[in-house]
Amino acid sequence: MDRQQIQQLFEQFSRFNILIIGDVMIDTYFWGKVDRISPEAPVPIIARTKLEHRLGGAGNVALNIQSLGANPFLCSVIGDDDKSNILINLLKQRKLSQEGILQDKNRITTIKTRVISDNQHLLRIDEEITDNINDEIRQKFINKLQSIIETKNINAIIFEDYDKGVITPEVINELVKIAHAKNIPTLVDPKKRNFMDYYGVTLFKPNFKELVEGLKLDIEKNDFDALHQAANRLRKDMNINTVMITLSELGIYINDNGSFHNIPAEVRDIADVSGAGDTVISTASLCLAAGMSPDEIAFISNLAGGLVCEKVGVVPIDKNLLMEEYLEIKSK
């Protein structure tokens, strides 16, 4: 691809509507200073200096889609509680649609609080319900998803699964069926609970840990023959077009119709790997919607995941930075 073609590709992203289904949550950062140990127990006392709320989980995928210039429709089930007001305000601040958000009075809004002092992560506190959504809420959620698909010209659907109960086998089956009928590509960032339920999706993107746990394998990350066999097994048993496995420092492996590519990681100064998987699936969805080849999808997604690892904390990808790096590599 020449410079003009690459620029046209990235400009094309702005025409895409991406539906994101999954577990949205609040990432709360509690910063403070530790000067002494508690007299009540041998634990540090932290004096809070700052508190910040950010969109997490599937919300970070929506932020990445938005940063790449496309239009995200974030769809999730949250609580009908005080924390839900924080989450809805975060959506408003980021100018993200609330159309796909369903509130359930029997659930709580997932929040993960990280306690940090002097750049040291001291503690994480999770407030969540991980049971599957009940039958009534599930049907309301499916109806809401179907309505958005019917009215919004959706170009790709992402399942962003954190095992918090929003995505169930029934939700997967219904949405994949709808997507097939409308010829909409489906992409999955899986977790353990529903790993084998994504039958018939277009692109399945586990990381290495999720792959070995999901398939109960005992293989090494650099054993590409074993990775190839595992990917072929997934494609055959689950009728999946493309399997893309993220391998952190070893890059990305992608298998499409039996042919495969290993895209090595670029050499970088890694500051924080948090959120890199969200960036990879977001970038892949837009490249897939644009009709790119599997090896190019993996190549650009690999670049994007690496770029966000150079930043501290969970941050969305910078579209212009990604395009410039891609142009620089392709011009060599």
Residues belonging to the active site: 278
Phi first, then psi: give them for residue 152, nearest 5 degrees: -115, 10
CB atoms within 10 A of CB 288: 22
Interatomic CA distance for residues 242 and 258, integer angstroms:
9
Say if strands 252-256 and 259-263 run parallel, antiparallel, or are unpaired: antiparallel
Residue 121 CA to residue 274 CA, distance in Å, equals 13
Sequence-separated (6 or more) residues with CB below 8 Å from residue 269: 310
β-strand partners of 50: 31
User: CB of 140 within 8 A of CB of 69?
Assistant: no
Q: Using an 8 Å Cβ cutoff, are 160 and 20 in contact?
A: yes
Strand order from edge to edge, sheet including 100-104: 100-104, 71-79, 17-22, 156-160, 186-189, 203-204, 242-246, 252-256, 259-263
Three-class SS of residue 100? strand
